[in-house]
Chain A
Amino acid sequence: MELHSRTPSGPIEQAWDKARFEMKLVNPANKRKHNIIVVGSGLAGASAAASLGELGYGVQCFCFQDSPRRAHSIAAQGGINAAKNYPNDGDSVYRLFYDTVKGGDFRSREANVYRLAQISVSIIDQCVAQGVPFAREYGGTLANRSFGGAQVSRTFYARGQTGQQLLLGAYQALERQIDAGRVAMFPRTEMLDLIVIDGRARGIVARNLVTGQITTYLGDAVVLATGGYGNVYYLSTNAKGSNATAIWRAYKRGALFANPCFTQIHPTCIPVSGDYQSKLTLMSESLRNDGRIWVPKTKGDKRPPNQIPAEDRDYYLERRYPSFGNLVPRDVASRNAKNVCDEGRGVGPGGLGVYLDFADAIRRLGEKVIRERYGNLFDMYERITDENPYKVPMRIYPAIHYTMGGLWVDYQLMSTIPGLFVGGEANFSDHGANRLGASALMQGLSDGYFILPYTIGNYLADNKLNSVEESSSEIRGAVAGVENNIQKLLSINGKRTVDSFHRELGKVVWEYCGMARTAAGLKHAIERIRELREEFWQDVNVPGSDADLNQSLERAGRVADFFELAELMCIDGLHRNESCGGHFREEHQTPEGEALRDDEHFSYVAAWEYRGPGNPPELQKEPLAFEYVHPSQRSYK
């Protein structure tokens, strides 16, 4: 299969204008005759569904949660970037583009990133108009702050709940379309397969999670905005329900999966406290603006933090990266935390933690200012750990947070299956091998509000779609496949619970395909994952029935897919014989321990094609060209 990115030719500044001008348009009177299926109701899904509804299309929107407002975008804390340059500190569309390409360690598509930076400014306008209560200056203008990986203040925020406010804005826009009758919402409904007819995406098979009913929904285009796959690791900052089933089923129907090994470990999470732990809690990276990260200089220094004098502390990020200091990108901050812990200088139970200390900031700015900036985060930290971060430094440790990999899409955000579009974290498009802070919200809303509504129209206008027979063999086959899978899971009646398998899988992936990877480790992980998967299909126990709300059954189906995806992540990580961004192969590092890219051999997107059960996936490459931002060794020193 050949990959066509459909990137417009000519100057990058005009690429998006050119692409939009070349798009075919759907006559306004014909829009309502098209039904578009949107799976997922987070920032990308809700904004796409609402915007498509506003344009007059018929839209069906699906989410597994009880309400579209619960989607996990809601948990994003820190902020959203935009090249507004309101603070007059030298920001521009070009600088945001440059920072994002560099931050992604030169593994993203330049034209997509440029478009993202261009659209960023419209997103802020849109959200303000919706009533998103962004932080304000006393004069009434929008406030900005700086964020990890950037030296300008371009991050807009609503306290530590930016994701919540942006999602509620998109959710309200969606509810407005529901009220207008243009969007039909299907909550508690999980997509379990993609319907592909004559090579085109024409619908989904979905299960009503309350009644167990399996239903097919047909349309002229399908949008997957179902988020990332960080829950492969079991312990992550994702919501418990976040899963990869929709994108994985699409992969098995022919959509290529790009860069699955590009996962992001967030540097500032609350450390693991026990075996019962069900998830990891993120502490917004905005804390690094005022908090200073340190560990004791000497191994095994067990003194309480406030009794360790300054000369015995190692502010290792400030020492190693004087110009960026505590604001280095996430991959660099995470790896350095791992290194100091590996040296035995970690703090807290198990030695897996570093201090994030606000004492200096409180001395400089006063407790009131710190409370205003981070109050809700400090409260959350205290609720979880029973420690008061105004008095004692926070303890933090890296955790899986975001997945840059995802379904491959072209410039129009269409996958390799015509008619299947992918938005937000579910696609691979804009962040390369590492995402900068406050960029996920930007990308989700850029895709949903400002890109998909155009590109889907272009697809519909450009292709004549035949009507689909409900009784076609493709549909009957997809439904039967879903039903068989459910019956199989319920009939194994083994001895182990779904969660016990998931935890074990997560440990393997974290150990061998987490912050640092080696060829030997990845090979071992692939073997181990296969063994575990086999055991899962022989010994899992899924209690209950398929005819009512059965949360064990939901999890079982998702974990079954995680097993397969985990293997693909390791295969991808093993093939990529270089380090870049979040993908750190120990064999490939600079003398200072930084990621060492191999641009000669790996400057491409690795897109994997499913070749049937038991067969190895086939690698397809989309070469990456950097005409504007020339690849260099990233330096934050």
Chain B
Amino acid sequence: MRLILRIWRQKNRNTKGKFARYEVNDVNPDMSMLECLDVLNEDLARRGKEPVAFEHDCREGICGSCGFMINGVAHGPLSGTTVCQLTMRHFKDGEELILEPWRARAFPLVKDLAVDRNAFDRIIAAGGYISISTGSAPDGNAIPVSKERADAAMDAAQCIGCGACVAACPNASASLFTGAKITHLGLLPQGQPERDLRAVRMVTQMNLEQFGQCTNIGECVAVCPKLIPIEVIGRMNHDYIAGSMREPEAGEA
């Protein structure tokens, strides 16, 4: 099959970007979206032109590196799928696809389709952990966790940190990402001692990073490749409010 790709090209965040139009012939329906970009890039490189920069690594949908907008939808049309696992059989021969980077103030552009998502790391650093130093753990079975609770924690813990939730949100909110970690740790007995402080610190950091506020639109859930449930945002708000009352100083960053 043949596809027309209109791709955002921008050398770095200090220069202006624009769309460039490319035609890719010989697209195999079993290819992934990224392999389709590989084909385009090989062709560009052969002709001495600069290939399109895009993030990718594992290409198994788990590392969270890849991601861009396809026709305005984060990770493209297939639910629960990152662009590395999105095969071209989901597009029509001759179709035109518009590829753009995640656009959010908290995700400054690096080049072409690649953006800087280190704001996510800083949110985790603010409290997305259980403070347990190496060597001080009790026996694994000393902390029983019901199967239901462990499963629910795992549902939230699956987040791959790709940033699609932010890109899809009209407010560029990182609530799904932040809520997922707060939920994962907050559901487990090990996470209880720091639960209040964790929520307050992480939410405070999220706001400092200039992510927008959540207004319960739900676009984030629709594009999340790991189908993280929207309930995690409710849990975040709950823990944040509870924490703000109990840990009044913690929010002052």
Contact = CB atoms under 8 A, between A and B. Distances in A.
Q: Which 10 A-B pairs have the closest CB atoms?
A: A140-B144, A172-B129, A129-B137, A125-B137, A175-B125, A179-B125, A133-B154, A239-B57, A136-B150, A128-B140
A172 B128 contact: yes
Interface stretch (B81-89, B165-173, B209-217): B81-89
A565 interface: no
A125 B63 contact: no
A54 interface: yes
Given A136-B145, A140-B147, A142-B140, A544 B50 contact: yes
B53 A158 contact: no
A549 interface: yes
B129 A210 contact: no
Given A75-B58, A134-B150, A549 B144 contact: no
A497 interface: yes
Contacts of A179: 125-126
Contacts, number: 223
Contacts of B78: 383
B93 interface: no
A497 B43 CA distance: 9
B232 interface: no
26 contacts: A86-B141, A122-B135, A125-B140, A126-B132, A126-B137, A128-B140, A129-B190, A130-B190, A131-B190, A133-B157, A134-B150, A140-B145, A140-B146, A159-B154, A172-B124, A176-B129, A210-B111, A276-B38, A276-B39, A386-B30, A453-B134, A499-B42, A541-B46, A543-B50, A548-B12, A549-B53
A176 B85 contact: no
A240 B3 CA distance: 24
A66 B65 contact: yes
A552 interface: yes
Interface stretch (A163-171, A394-402, A461-469, A568-576): A163-171
Given A67-B117, A171-B124, A176-B131, A278 B62 contact: no
A576 to B, nearest CB: 32
B228 to A, nearest CB: 13
Contacts of B145: 133, 136, 140
A608 B34 CA distance: 38
Contacts of A168: 157
A618 to B, nearest CB: 36
B110 interface: yes
Given A69-B124, A240-B58, A380-B85, 16 more contacts: A54-B134, A69-B121, A74-B62, A125-B138, A129-B132, A130-B137, A134-B150, A175-B125, A240-B56, A274-B30, A276-B31, A279-B60, A383-B78, A384-B85, A450-B134, A551-B53
B161 interface: yes
A548 B11 contact: yes
Instruction: Name the residue in B28, B110, B125, B185 with the highest tally of chain A Cβ atoms < 10 Å from its Cβ.
Output: B125
A129 B158 contact: no
Interface string B47-85: 011110101111111111100000000000010110001
A384 B33 CA distance: 12
Interface in B23-39: 28, 30-32, 34-35, 38-39
Nearest to A126: B137
B188 interface: yes
B42 A497 contact: yes
Interface residues of B, number: 79
Interface of B: 11-12, 28, 30-32, 34-35, 38-39, 42, 44-46, 48-51, 53, 55-65, 78, 80-81, 85, 87, 89, 110-111, 114, 116-118, 120-121, 124-126, 128-141, 143-147, 150-151, 153-154, 157-158, 160-161, 184-185, 188, 190-191
A158 B30 contact: no
What interface size band does chain A fall in?
35 or more
A210 B216 CA distance: 35
A124 B140 contact: yes
A175 B111 contact: no
Nearest to B82: A383
B125 A75 contact: no
A187 B118 CA distance: 9
Contacts of A139: 144
Contacts of B110: 210, 549
A124 B53 CA distance: 39
Interface in A118-154: 122, 124-131, 133-142
Nearest to B52: A551
Contact of A383 (B35, B81, B158, B191): B81
Nearest to B191: A131
A379 B158 CA distance: 15
A421 to B, nearest CB: 16
A124 B142 CA distance: 12
A423 interface: no
A88 interface: no
A552 B63 contact: no
A165 B157 contact: yes
Nearest to B56: A240
A3 interface: no
B65 A136 contact: no
A159 B186 CA distance: 20
A140 B141 CA distance: 8
A67 B140 CA distance: 29
A380 B59 CA distance: 11
